[in-house]
Amino acid sequence: MQVVVASNNAHKIQEIRTALDFPGWEFVPLKAVASYPEPEEDGETFLDNARIKARAAHEATGMPALADDSGLVVDALDGAPGVRSARFAGDHGDDGANNRLLLEMLDGVPDEQRTARFVSVLVFIDADGAETVARGTVEGHIGYTEVGDEGFGYDPIFHPDVFGGTITMAQVSMEQKNAVSHRGNALRNLKEQLLAMADSHLRSS
């Protein structure tokens, strides 16, 4: 079964392929199957935007679709950058500018108030249009400078609690990151739900 991923982000698609390793399932990027106007991600929550992207991909292709919306939530900034994480500094996907702006806004904020978390929400729509939602988070805090060459986005300034808070998400391998990341946690949750539904279907048939 082919599933269209409502993204062309190679990092994200590879993470999905690794986590959802169902026999016979193939996850393909949008550019490989369809061309259509990108839907406006004008939702107020990660779930809103993931649903907008999944529905648009499903309707455009007729295929099962999977979409993710994720971002960074900083407590001292009342949840910002939140759903605007990718375009926080203005231009979509300018990681360096986003990180610099965030650090500037947190200038003078003490350690104990720099708590934050990455959030990921996944929406999977099957061939019949039924929707499954999964969520994952990873807690941590924002550092003072960018450290590390791995990962992308806010990884160089995010210190996850799971690694003791002493290193950033950009200082660990992709395998280590996937084992604890917000998207990794959401994908594991989605996999559990899909396996449970498949088992229930087999039992009732």
**Residue in 42, 68, 69, 95 annotated catalytic:** 69
Q: Render the chain in DSSP notation, one character per residue.
A: -EEEES---HHHHHHHHHH---TT-EEEEGGGT---PPPP---SSHHHHHHHHHHHHHHHHSS-EEEEEEEEEEGGGTT-BGGGGGGTTSSTT-HHHHHHHHHHHTTT--GGG-EEEEEEEEEEE-TT--EEEEEEEEEEEE-SS---SSS-TTGGGEEEGGGTTSS-GGGS-HHHHHHHSHHHHHHHHHHHHHHHHHHHHHHH-
Contact yes or no for 71/82 (Cβ under 8 A): yes
Active site residue 111: no
- φ/ψ region of 153 (left if φ > 0, alpha if ψ in -120 to 50, else beta) reads left
Angle in degrees, CA 150, 154, 156, rounded to 5: 45
Q: Which residues are catalytic?
A: 69
